[in-house]
Amino acid sequence: MRLAKVGPEWTRTRPASHEVRTSLDGRHWREGTTGPARFVRVTVRSADDKKRAGIEELRVTRAK
């Protein structure tokens, strides 16, 4: 499938940073939220270890 967009909806505690990677085979990952992909990986980094950031929902939109 070709992706048009990957958009996380954050929990109340927003991350200090995040990274989205996509893959066709689950082994070789590339940065980006568009293009051909079968797997999506989001890495979230919290600013405070006591208040962990997280994803409430992940919206993945298929390209037409």
Q: What is the pLDDT of residue 10?
A: 94
Region 33-51: mean pLDDT is 90
Q: What is the pLDDT of residue 43?
A: 94
The pLDDT of residue 48 is above 90:
no
Selected residue with higher pLDDT from 12 and 48:
12
pTM of the full structure:
0.81
Residues in Cβ contact with 49 at an 8 Å cutoff, skipping those fewer than 6 apart: none
The pLDDT of residue 50 is above 90:
no
Cα 36 from chain centroid?
15
d(CA 49, CA 51): 6
